[in-house]
Structure 1
Amino acid sequence: MTSTKTHIFITGATGYIGGTLLKRLLQHENASSFEISTLVRAADKAEKLKALGVQVITGSYSDEDLLEKGAQKADIVFQNVDIGDVGATKVILRGLKKRFNETGRPPVVIHTSGTAAVCDSANGMYESKVVYSDMETDRIQSPDLILPHRLVNAVLLDADKEGYIRSQIIYPSTIWGLATGPLVDAGIQNPHSIQIPPFIRVSIDRGKALKIGEGRNIWPNAHIEDMADLYMLVFNKVLSNPEAPHGRDALYFAAADEHKLIDVYSTIAKSLYELGKVNSPELTQLADDEVIKYYGNPMFVTSVNGGNSRCRADRSFALGWKPTRGTKDMLDSIKPECEVIVSQLQRNLGKPVTARPR
């Protein structure tokens, strides 16, 4: 970047992943050379972010003009909101195309996708032997894959091919662990993942520990801070070298280890039983009406929580990614997170429980 300041626009800055990335940017050794902006709806959080030195655009992600203008001012965009929303991605790209036309330099998009992009529809009933490498672009973008992640990624890759952006697409897996840091302490950032914690909340709400199918399906996992390490490796790469690999040569899985879902369900059941929040450590399958109640869209169950998503992070490791925590650490983290969630639910009695992202 040739300007004095590197202009960074980050979406989802109050969320689990986006807030952790914002924390890392604020702590970055070159933070004094960054001008960071974000779009925030809540006025109280906007004021707290301003106090941390973040420029705030007040509004929601349905305000297309605001989203486009935020992107138009950016050298680098961290996109962390609704990874299946093609429309919002196109709005961001409109702003970035204007940026390119103004400067002649293609801005960078570091996009949060997800390894659900390569999920099957096992519904928890079987273990797949199919494993995807992040070096295999054609397989990752196969038209046979059914979730909207692939469609959003295709739009970004097309824009990269046209030459007006340089895309970096990161695929988080099961990201776990309580987020920590100044944004959590200030009440700005959601500290919980949208993956394992909903299993905990739904089990508490129904008084019975859940399982989806037989829990035989396999997913990869990574701790929230290990995942953030990968994002910062990618960020530092493009910051130091605008000509760094991009597009089809810049797809990265954040997959440190892998687990069977039955081990997650069983650990939750044992933890909640010990805490007196379910009536038995035995697992029970969600009934059809419960799937609708808690998840809304049954595809969330069959093709995400119930699917296999087996990945190798070959490109991420080649970049220098060195995650330090694995499946055992993840399972060990479940009971402490159960305790936190139980306390939260006790403070929020009367509010409906849902497994869908809020």
Structure 2
Amino acid sequence: MSTKTPIFLTGATGYIGGSVLSRLLEHPSADTFDITVLVRDGKKAQILESQFGVKAVVGTHQEHDKIEGLVENAHIVFHLPDPDDVPLIQAILRGMRTRHTKLGDLPILIHTSGTGTLADDARGVYPTDTVYDDLDVEQIKSIRPDAPHRPVDLLIAEADTQGYVRAYIVLPSLIYGFATHRLVKAGVSNSISIQIPFLIRASLARKQAGMIGQGKALWPDVHIDDIADLYLTVFDTAVRDPDAAEHGWNGFYLGENGEHSWYQVSKAIGHVLVGLGISNDPEPTSFTSEELVKYFGSEEDAFSTWGSNSRARGNRGRSIGWKPRHTAEDMLKSITPEVEALVKQR
């Protein structure tokens, strides 16, 4: 009978998921892990199995019975993509409840939410003084139930309260930087984030840096390597010293190491566009209503992220040893290579 720790991970081909899986494969205790992942792409599944020794099951997030069974067989579950899929998290929690009932095991869930759950409706017009601290449990509980990601977060917190899972919820802020680990090099995982590239693509299309409203709203940021380190810090502490890594309502871990205004991001994009001869003026201008629909899908989608305030302080992770290294200044510097890379893709 295997004595290895069974781990199930979703999102292995993604930006966050690939970075976390890469760290698990390089972990000092990696030879004690029995890792299973769910992927849609059969070719990527073959690479994961042949090159990395990971059991890869081909399937989708809509195959809830399959996922429930995979979760039932795992002591630790990393759920890393799609923080808004309620039926998916319900399937995961059913699998964990079944495992707890049958084996008496208390499985661990490490889930990805996001600081978008803190977002307001500033529409780029003003900054807010409201800052969320993850050590302030009552403040975390006060987040409105219909906020982005919140329905899933609430289901997980309730499962922890019921006692059949130890749940840890990681809330990344704006993630930046190229992922360069070996899963990216093998063509398995995504290397680039979403929020800044969206602004870059929109600005390239209009040949002028753009922003929502006046760009005054504030967001925290975190480098991809630092947020991956937070997941592993939570994981290591939860396994080694469960009392140190608090869980449930005490287990919301905000991932940030700096803060920016959306104007700063757009202005940095503008400078690069001028340098590349794409634009004549680095000063960003406000997207029109038509542009918001064209480039972001809808005005509401644009307002909810690129026009909102989402201010956070990740003190809980730091209290258990997380030491992020990259700063907001590093984020602004990272925009130049991201613009250059996206220009080459056009």
Indicate if the aligned counterparts of 2:75 and 2:107 stay in contact, CA closer than 8 A.
Answer: yes
Indicate if the aligned counterparts of 1:9 and 1:77 stay in contact, CA closer than 8 A.
Answer: yes
Which residue matches 1:38? 37
Which residue matches 1:341? 342
Deviation at 1:293, TM superposition (A): 2.6
- Percent identity between the two aligned chains: 43
Structural mapping, 1:70-219, within 5 Å: 70-142=70-142, 144=144, 146-219=146-219
Deviation at 1:68, TM superposition (A): 1.5
- Deviation per CA, 1:321-358: give whole Å up to 9, x if none: 1111101111111101111111122xxxxxxxxxxxxx
Moved more, 13-22 or 136-145: 136-145
- Computed over aligned residues only, the root mean square deviation of the Cα atoms, in angstroms, reads 1.6
Give structure 1 regions of 4+ aligned residues with deviation exceeding 3 angstroms: 143-146, 241-244, 277-280
Unaligned runs of 5+ in 1: 346-358
Structural mapping, 1:217-256, within 5 Å: 217-242=217-242, 244-256=245-257
- Deviation per CA, 1:12-50: give whole Å up to 9, x if none: 111110000000000000000001111111111111111
State how far apart, in whole Å, the 1-side matches of 2:329 and 2:267 are.
13
State how far apart, in whole Å, the 2-side matches of 1:77 and 1:292 are.
37
Deviation at 1:3, TM superposition (A): 6.7
Deviation at 1:242, TM superposition (A): 4.5
Indicate if the aligned counterparts of 1:117 and 1:140 stay in contact, CA closer than 8 A.
Answer: no
Deviation at 1:297, TM superposition (A): 4.0
Deviation at 1:146, TM superposition (A): 4.2
Which residue matches 1:316? 317
TM-score between both structures, scaled by the size of structure 1: 0.92
Structural mapping, 1:287-298, within 5 Å: 287-298=288-299
Query: Secondary structure in 2 aligned to 1:215?
Result: coil
Query: Secondary structure in 1 aligned to 2:168?
Result: strand
State how far apart, in whole Å, the 2-side matches of 1:229 and 1:312 are.
16
Indicate if the aligned counterparts of 1:119 and 1:145 stay in contact, CA closer than 8 A.
Answer: no
Indicate if the aligned counterparts of 1:258 and 1:327 stay in contact, CA closer than 8 A.
Answer: yes
Indicate if the aligned counterparts of 1:71 and 1:95 stay in contact, CA closer than 8 A.
Answer: yes
Query: Secondary structure in 2 aligned to 1:252?
Result: strand
Moved more, 10-19 or 93-102: 93-102
Query: Secondary structure in 2 aligned to 1:333?
Result: helix
State how far apart, in whole Å, the 1-side matches of 2:115 and 2:269 are.
23
Moved more, 290-299 or 177-186: 290-299
Indicate if the aligned counterparts of 1:57 and 1:66 stay in contact, CA closer than 8 A.
Answer: no
Residue 277 and residue 73 in structure 1: after superposition, are their counterparts in 2 closer, same or farther (change >3 A)?
farther
- Deviation per CA, 1:137-164: give whole Å up to 9, x if none: 2322325364231211110000001111
Deviation at 1:166, TM superposition (A): 0.6
State how far apart, in whole Å, the 2-side matches of 1:129 and 1:143 are.
16
State how far apart, in whole Å, the 2-side matches of 1:237 and 1:312 are.
20
Indicate if the aligned counterparts of 2:121 and 2:303 stay in contact, CA closer than 8 A.
Answer: yes
Query: Secondary structure in 1 aligned to 2:233?
Result: helix
Residue 142 of structure 1 aligns with an amino acid whose one-letter code is: S
Residue 295 of structure 1 aligns with an amino acid whose one-letter code is: F
Deviation at 1:201, TM superposition (A): 1.3
Indicate if the aligned counterparts of 1:255 and 1:312 stay in contact, CA closer than 8 A.
Answer: yes
The total of aligned residue pairs comes to 344
- Deviation per CA, 1:37-74: give whole Å up to 9, x if none: 11111111111111211111101111212222221111
Residue 212 of structure 1 aligns with an amino acid whose one-letter code is: I
Moved more, 214-223 or 270-279: 270-279
Query: Secondary structure in 1 aligned to 2:62?
Result: coil
Unaligned runs of 5+ in 2: none
Indicate if the aligned counterparts of 2:218 and 2:308 stay in contact, CA closer than 8 A.
Answer: yes
Indicate if the aligned counterparts of 1:9 and 1:78 stay in contact, CA closer than 8 A.
Answer: yes
Which residue matches 1:263? 264
Residue 11 of structure 1 aligns with an amino acid whose one-letter code is: T
Residue 109 and residue 178 in structure 1: after superposition, are their counterparts in 2 closer, same or farther (change >3 A)?
same
Alignment partner of 1:20 is 2:19: yes
Deviation at 1:245, TM superposition (A): 2.3
TM-score between both structures, scaled by the size of structure 2: 0.95
Query: Secondary structure in 1 aligned to 2:317?
Result: helix
Indicate if the aligned counterparts of 1:137 and 1:248 stay in contact, CA closer than 8 A.
Answer: yes
State how far apart, in whole Å, the 1-side matches of 2:339 and 2:11 are.
25
State how far apart, in whole Å, the 2-side matches of 1:297 and 1:75 are.
40
Residue 135 and residue 13 in structure 1: after superposition, are their counterparts in 2 closer, same or farther (change >3 A)?
same
Moved more, 196-205 or 257-266: 196-205
